[in-house]
Amino acid sequence: MKRILFVDDDPNVLSGLQRMLRPRRTEWEMAFAPGPEAALTALSESPFDVIVSDMRMPGMDGAMLLARVQAEHPEIVRIVLSGHTELEAAMRAVPVAHQFLCKPCDADILKAVIERAFDLRALLENETVRATVASMDKLPSVPRLYAALTKALADPESSVDDIATIVQGDVGMCAKLLHLTNSAFFGQSRAVTNVHRAVALLGTRTVKNLVLGVEMFSAFPGNADDGRFFEALQDHALRSARIAARLLPDKAQSDDAFMAAMLHDIGQLILRTRLREPFIAAVAEADRTGRPLHAIEREACGVTHAEVGAYLLGLWGLPYPILQAVAYHHAPAATGSRGFDVAAAVHVANVLQHEQDAPRTGVPPEPFDPAWLAALGVTDRLPQWRAAAEAVATAA
């Protein structure tokens, strides 16, 4: 049974939800707390999988409540359901909520968001790892980019494009930015995957507040080895993204592909910060043996960076094509897709980028799965893709 806790200071809202969700009672076990204190009591008494909380409540507000939940029960998926529509409220919720929903919230959307939180669990069987990932409220950025961003934000001359260009180069910033812009606060009919559009949507002032006020972005605090690792990861992500964007002709798909490729190794960032020792050992072993990293991760950590990354992005409400592409970037065939979609493009871009790097790093790239290429009917496009990848490499 999946357990959900609803918190709101208005009893009418709770009873409305209770009635509306009654048909789900066979799958969901729902509890309704009329305030933050009651919610904390309920949480201490029995385990929950998801919490849906109002923002503005007397005494302790929703952000404070969710911060405590984050600290005490990191495995619980935290969702905000607020009557506030202004950006400030979203900003306060960003650090603590996986998802933000606005009142009035369509019943189907509410159900879908909750369902999705449960579905995501299929990605990560290990509950400890799930809690670890769910407790991540921000992702580290490359110090160089972080410094460039703060400088650009302090400069009144900076344009939206200047800022978007910097954000686009950083995996952590991209993910966090999309986390915010894809929340219901912006009421976008279609998911936003283009960083320029996201920055324009938020406005530079909000981005500034995210960086300097809420400190949503932060420089990665590790040592020199970590620094090198992150730089290489960023570099690989950005190159792959540029390649992936060229593989799909449709503008929207191309945006999705760029972002998915940008974020495809985000799981490595998470593992490097949260499961540091086993992950570093796994990377070392992969370098030594030439075996694929995800295979060693599975043995050492029980999860792969693809699963971890997809899980976090899923919690953050990023659109499904990106999640899929991140989750299956090593095994595109597993998606069961019959067309050359975003996930396929990310897989191809990833392999091509590794191929380009192979002479330098000495790590052999994973070969393409001929059966999969044949199934999609794109075998003959391989040379074309390689040319595109070359073009990107020389352009950069």
- Residues forming contacts to other proteins in the complex (CB under 8 A) are 10, 12-13, 15-17, 19-20, 22-23, 56-60, 64, 81-86, 102-107
Closest CB to other proteins among residues 60, 376: 60
CB of 190 to other proteins, least distance (A): 23
Amino acid (1-letter code) at residue 358: A
Comparing CB distances to other proteins, the nearer of 102 and 180 is 102
CB of 383 to other proteins, least distance (A): 55
Do you find a cis peptide bond into 36, omega within 30 degrees of 0?
A: no
Which residue lies nearer to other proteins by CB, 83 or 95?
83
Closer residue to other proteins (CB): 58 or 221: 58
Q: How far is the CB of 64 from other proteins (least distance, A)?
A: 7
**How many C-beta atoms surround the C-beta of residue 201 within 10 A?**
16
Q: Which C-beta is closer to other proteins: that of 82 or that of 268? A: 82
Q: Give min distance, CB of 20 to other proteins, in A.
A: 4
Q: Which residues contact 310 (CB under 8 A, 6 or more apart)?
A: 120, 123, 267, 323, 324, 326, 327
**Minimum CB distance to other proteins, residue 86 (Å):** 5
The CA distance from 326 to 311, in Å, is 9
CB under 8 Å to 60, separation ≥6 — which residues?
36, 37
Nearest to other proteins of 58, 383 (CB atom) = 58
Cα distances from 313 to residues 10, 120, 353, 375, in angstroms, run 31, 10, 23, 29
> At closest approach, how far in Å is the CB of 92 from other proteins?
13
The Cα-based distances of 84 to 11, 57, 91, 166, 186 in angstroms read: 18, 12, 11, 30, 12
Residue with tokens 């760029």: 258
Could you tell me if 140 and 230 are in contact, meaning their C-beta atoms sit under 8 angstroms apart?
yes
